Amino acid sequence: MSLVARFGLDTSKIRRCICPSNVSIGHLVAIVGNQNGVETVDKADPVHYERLPAVGMVISKVDATTCLVQFYGESSSIFNNLAPGEIYFLGKDSFISVVPPRPNGVDVFVQNVGVALSSTTIFIKPDLNLVLRRS
């Protein structure tokens, strides 16, 4: 039985979004706008509050400026070296990191974005509560 079934929630929430061409599979993204009812996303950035919170992960690129974002649930199509049981955070490079970002001359926001269920599966559940770490 999966985590999702135990909590009685949908198995995943995936939506097509507009994104810049430099957004890749595995990037954590924030919603930065809306064009005709379609969310526009960009890389989440723990240094810049206006690019937070991370709300999901890019799991596919349809074309250069269209992506599929998974907002919640199990994803097993991206990683192959996760540490099962570890909590993952938004990293300074907009990818997941097992180590929360540390301030290095600038304040950073720490955000928990999911937990590894196995070496290849992460349960994406971005925590919308951010913690500020001062430099």
* Model pLDDT, residue 49: 95
* Model pLDDT, residue 4: 38
> CA–CA separation, 83 vs 60, rounded Å?
22
Q: What's the total number of domains in the chain?
A: 1
Residue 82 is part of which domain span? 3-133
* Model pLDDT, residue 12: 53
pLDDT digits (tens, 9 = 90+) for 99-122: 999 999 999 999 999 999 999 999
* Model pLDDT, residue 7: 39
pLDDT reading at 10 higher than 60: no
pLDDT reading at 8 higher than 70: no
Instruction: Tell me, letter by letter, the H, E, C secondary structure of 116-128.
Output: ECCCCCEEECCCC
Q: Taking residues 11-19, what's their average pLDDT?
A: 84
The DSSP string of 24-75 is: -TT-EEEEEEEETTEEEEEE--TT-GGG----EEEEEEEETTEEEEEEEEEE
pLDDT reading at 92 higher than 90: yes
* Model pLDDT, residue 77: 79
* Model pLDDT, residue 43: 98
pLDDT digits (tens, 9 = 90+) for 23-68: 999 999 999 999 999 999 999 999 999 999 999 999 999 999 999 9
